[in-house]
Chains A and B, each alone.
Chain A
């Protein structure tokens, strides 16, 4: 059974990879918190609700040959709005970035537990004990 055929699982795995990419962009901001001229970046959030609701209504591109290029899941990066910047042009607010990182981590916890619950549900439907 291909779990990614189930819309919710597909949305969850896309969200997990988005959260992972966002984490690395936020870590990049923090590493560059004292770099002159550096402006904090963020990752644009795709429409996850639409991913669940609209699944099945559009057909993905079919791969007819193993050599076909598979679209890789990269997300668009955008610069964060600058609220204040240091005299050297650096516009990274450490507090802001820490807040975003902790939000990101709790979103990740939420998404992984959602995945576990959904998997338990599928197992239950298959007549297995959800814990086993």
Chain B
């Protein structure tokens, strides 16, 4: 039935946005994770990309997480000679996580998640109205 398909597609959308939120919080949590060894690489931010896939069981384009790729961007150099990861000149590489960009990404994921929830609400209303035809 079409309306149940619609629910399944929305659930897939919510799952994908949920993964995106998870990665964003991973980035935020690791905003200060430096390397342990001198001159090592710190945490590199991750980016989620989506792709639409044909779900053959429901015959519609569903969505799933394509891949979680490392994000580009320069590491910031901070002067801290006493840090275990400091290089010969006393600089430590900091993760390329920009908290403001992450927060924006989080807000966008939240909006999309909400939109999927609203679509589920509409489909549920339509289903219950159809069932009410019996009464």
Decide if A and B are genuine partners. Answer: yes
A: residues with CB less than 8 A from B are 16-17, 19-21, 23-28, 30-36, 38, 41, 94, 97-98, 101-102, 104-105, 108-109, 112, 115-116
> Which chain B residues border A94 with CB–CB below 8 Å?
111-112, 115
- How many interface residues does chain B have, given as a range? 35 or more
Q: Which of B26-34, B46-54, B71-79, B90-98 contacts A (4 or more CB under 8 A)?
A: B46-54
Q: A35-B51, A98-B115, A104-B122 are in contact. Are A27 and B133 (CB under 8 A)?
A: no
Closest to B116 in A: A30
- In contact, A23 and B3 (Cβ under 8 angstroms): yes
CA distance A26 to B10 in the complex (A): 10
CA distance A15 to B6 in the complex (A): 17
CA distance A101 to B116 in the complex (A): 11
Of A19, A32, A41, which one neighbours B63 at CB under 8 angstroms?
A32
Interface majority SS on B: helix, strand, loop or mixed?
A: helix
- In contact, A38 and B52 (Cβ under 8 angstroms): yes
> Which chain B residues border A105 with CB–CB below 8 Å?
122, 125-126
Interface status of B89 (Cβ within 8 A of chain A): no
Interface status of B16 (Cβ within 8 A of chain A): yes
- In contact, A23 and B6 (Cβ under 8 angstroms): yes
CA distance A27 to B116 in the complex (A): 7
Known pairs A20-B6, A31-B10, A112-B129 / 12 extra A-B pairs, C-beta < 8 Å? A23-B6, A23-B122, A24-B58, A27-B5, A30-B10, A32-B13, A34-B16, A34-B20, A34-B50, A35-B51, A94-B111, A109-B129
Closest to B109 in A: A34
